[in-house]
A and B are shown apart, each in its own frame.
Chain A
Amino acid sequence: MQSAKIVVKNLYKVFGGKSADVMRMLKSGEHKDEIFKKTGSVVGVNDVSFAVEEGEIFVLMGLSGSGKSTLIRLINRLMDPTDGQIILDGQDITKLTPKQMVELRRRDMSMVFQSFALMPHRSVLDNAAFGLEISGVDRKAREARGMEVLEQVGLAPFAHKYPHELSGGMQQRVGLVRALAVNPSLMLMDEAFSALDPLKRSEMQDILLDLQREQRRTIFFVSHDLEEALRIGTRIAIMEGGRLVQVGTPQQIIENPADDYVRNFFKSVDTSRYLQAKDLIEVANPPHSGRPGLHVPPSCSLPDVLQQLLGQSEPLQVRDDQGQCLGLITPSSVLSKISQHRLQSTATH
């Protein structure tokens, strides 16, 4: 059983003062638009509760103005919540003093920004080692660590360049390196790849997934791009107007969107591309599960499943790590799933 890295309970953020009044009105069930009319205060985050598991990539999705950028900043307290709890590794961080918060940020968490937010006066290496410098690591040690991580993402040859001499994709790789260099157990990524062109974006997603395979960290990722969320997210949370609408695995969200807002995200997205072997199973727990034959892992992607099925008369087995057969895939089960998804995505147009 995985343990929760972050537990957020009944979190609120009110902008514009009169927070006590606003909280009372919210708790008596008034709508945030009414509250804005009466008090001029904006409710950014409205009674949000969720948990992020250790080692997962938790993607928070929403349109602009949905409060996702506020929510991510509450988690490392770049903004202070108005009410509620944020429990990180069992400790309620809303109660920490500013000094304790500085300690926590140095030790345990880092952040990647949409605009990269590199320091233009520092070389790539000095940017990479920024977090370590701040926490007082001596030059030799922090530069060694900076180089190590730069090498991981293929930026070592650029260590002594300045950020403005690099392309956008490379600059964000430096942003990623800066966040990784402090070896945090939690990484916050605010629209980290949104400013990049699609090609660079998927390249960065691959780098992130590769890094995650080498060393699992808990990643809290804010995005407005569903394809990105489906690609990298272990679980996805969808936010609208300051509230959390739905939390679930990509498959759960594709299969059962909570409402039209969620369904709208799927417009023009071919969700069948994100199907995995375990979603395609026709006969679960078949009787002759022990027999030999072609098999794939549950996370096998659709193209790989199709490749395996091609020219086979036998159904394909889905086996977990222990070799246990979870179910069978037949050409007709694959076809019906794909057509179901295609229909769904065209129906919403």
Chain B
Amino acid sequence: MADISTQDMLPIGDWVNKVIHFMLDHNAGAFDAIGNTIDWFATMVEFLLLGIPPLVMGAIFAGVGFWRLGWKFALFVCAALGLIWATGFWGQTIATLALTLSATCVSLLLGVPVGIWCARNKLVGMLVRPVLDFMQTMPAFVYLIPAAMFFGLGRVPGILATVVFAVPPAVRLTSLGIRMVNKEQVEAGHAFGCTSWQLLFKVQLPIALPSIMAGVNQTIMMALSMVIIASMVGAGGLGNDVLASIQRLDVGLGFESGLAVVLLAIILDRITESFGHTPTTRAAEQGS
């Protein structure tokens, strides 16, 4: 008898390989269609964002910052974007922003409806939860590889791997927000003759909005961290510089490109977080 620890008694890895290859052989058309759609969307987002001159872009961010958070934050935005521009990472930062926004859009398009479904159906909620755990904790490199096998190198596998990583908070916080709506508020909806859809759109979603916005914020932050890693499959943006700095052991380049990531993250975080605290949603947080 061979040593039990070296024997592959349960060859899950082989099965996964077989499934992946089967899918590659038989569903190539479907993957191409998905890939092309995402590629078209991401290209468009990047084209639009790169089309905006740096000064105008800076003004837009500073303006939104001033509107949501006041002049101090607007000043910070100007300094941060100025720094990124001056260090020569403007183009890569905008490419990263485009990737992040594309991945966030796809994540929310998937995550919010699934979150709603989970909140309304206990069984679905129970089944989805372990899937979310899997998506969040499975090391990212593990699904970067099959993503690249399905969609080739480039932006698409990067975005899809990012979506896998960034969807869970959108699902979780949407579901949580809806489940936290006060029981009597839901009863009030029913008592006044809401249909199921009216209950969702006129009672549950608006009251859950602060929680959903927290989910949006988390999704963006997760997406931003993942698009950097996704540069390993050729997603582009600041990740390329980070990767290059590692390969060339160029600490200076790593610091500059890393700093651009950090600054972009702070700007996106503060702005999206502020949308969770509008005057009316603040009331919702206080409950009733």
B184 touches A114 (CB 8 A): yes
Q: Mark A82-110, 1 if CB is under 8 A from B, else 0.
A: 00000000000000000000111111011
With A119-B203, A162-B283 known to touch, is A182 a contact of B182 (CB < 8 Å)?
Answer: no
Alpha-carbon separation in the docked complex, A117 to B287 (Å): 9
Describe A's contact surface by its main secondary structure. mixed
Q: How far is the CA of A105 from the CA of B202 in the complex (A)?
A: 17
A178 to B286, CA, bound (A): 21
Q: Secondary structure of the B side of the interface?
A: helix
Contact B195 A117 (CB under 8 A): no
User: Knowing A114-B184, A119-B207 touch, does A76 contact B191 (C-beta < 8 A)?
Assistant: yes
A231 interface contact, C-beta 8 A: no
Q: Does A163 contact B (CB under 8 A)?
A: yes
The answer to whether A105 touches B190 (Cβ under 8 A) is yes
B137, chain A: closest CB distance, angstroms: 35
Query: A40 contacts the other chain (Cβ, under 8 Å)?
Result: no
Question: Number of contacting residues on B, CB 8 A?
Answer: 27
Nearest-CB distance from B39 to chain A (Å)? 38
Once bound together, how far apart are the Cα atoms of A7 and B226, in whole Å?
63
Structural contact, A117 and B288, CB atoms closer than 8 A: yes
Residues of chain B lying within 8 A (CB to CB) of residue A116: 184, 288
Q: How far is the CA of A131 from the CA of B193 in the complex (A)?
A: 7
A182-B191 contact, Cβ under 8 Å, with A117-B184, A117-B185: no
B187 close to A (CB within 8 Å): yes
A113 touches B184 (CB 8 A): yes
Query: Do B284 and A131 have beta carbons less than 8 Å apart?
Result: no
B279 within 8 A of A: yes
Residues of B within 8 A of A106 (CB): 192-193
B180 interfacial by beta-carbon distance below 8 Å: no
CB distance from A80 to the nearest CB of B (A): 12
Min CB–CB distance B27 → chain A (angstroms): 40
A314 and B209 alpha carbons, distance in the complex (Å): 71
Inter-chain contacts of A110 with B (CB < 8 A): 191-192
Complex Cα spacing A104 to B191, Å: 10
Count residues on chain A whose CB falls below 8 Å from chain B CBs.
34
B191: chain A residues at CB < 8 Å are 76, 78, 105, 109-111, 188
Cβ–Cβ contact B192 & A115, under 8 A? no
A158 to chain B, nearest CB (A): 14
The yes or no answer to B225 lying at the interface (CB within 8 A) is no
Q: Is A133 in contact with chain B by the CB < 8 A criterion? A: yes
Contact B190 A115 (CB under 8 A): no
Bound Cα distance A171, B194 (Å): 21
| CB nearest to A76 among chain B residues | B191
Residues in A with CB closer than 8 Å to B288 are: 115-118, 120, 163-164, 171
Q: Cβ of A162 and Cβ of B190 under 8 Å apart?
A: no
CB distance from B88 to the nearest CB of A (A): 45
Residues of A within 8 A of B193 (CB): 102-107, 131, 134-135
Instruction: Return chain B residues, CB-CB under 8 Å to A103.
Output: 193
Contact indicator B207/A120 (Cβ below 8 Å): yes
Per-position binary interface string of chain B over residues 162-197, scored 1 when its CB falls under 8 Å from any chain A CB and 0 otherwise? 000000000000000000001011011111111100
The reply on B136 being an interface residue by CB < 8 A is no
**Shortest CB distance A76–B (Å):** 6
The distance from the CB of B214 to the nearest CB of chain A, in whole angstroms, is 16
Given the complex, which residues of A lie within 8 Å of B194, measured CB to CB? 102, 134
Q: With contacts A105-B192, A164-B286 known, is A119 near B185, CB below 8 A?
A: yes
Q: How far is the CA of A107 from the CA of B287 in the complex (A)?
A: 29
Q: Is A134 a contact partner of B198 (Cβ separation < 8 A)? A: yes
- Tell me, yes or no, whether A27 is within 8 Å of chain B by CB: no
Residue A130 at the B interface, CB < 8 A? Answer: yes
- Chain A residues whose C-beta falls within 8 Å of the C-beta of B198 in the assembled complex: 134
Interface residues of A in 56-94 (CB under 8 A from B): 73, 76, 78
Residues of B within 8 A of A (CB): 182, 184-185, 187-195, 198, 202-203, 206-207, 209, 279-284, 286-288
A-B contact pairs, 8 of them (CB 8 A): A107-B193, A111-B188, A117-B184, A119-B206, A121-B206, A134-B193, A162-B279, A164-B288
The 8 closest A-B pairs by CB, nearest first: A106-B193, A164-B283, A120-B283, A111-B191, A117-B184, A105-B193, A131-B192, A117-B188
For the A-B complex with A111-B192, A115-B184, A178-B192 known, give 6 more contacts whose Cβ atoms are closer than 8 Å.
A113-B184, A117-B185, A119-B206, A120-B284, A133-B202, A134-B202
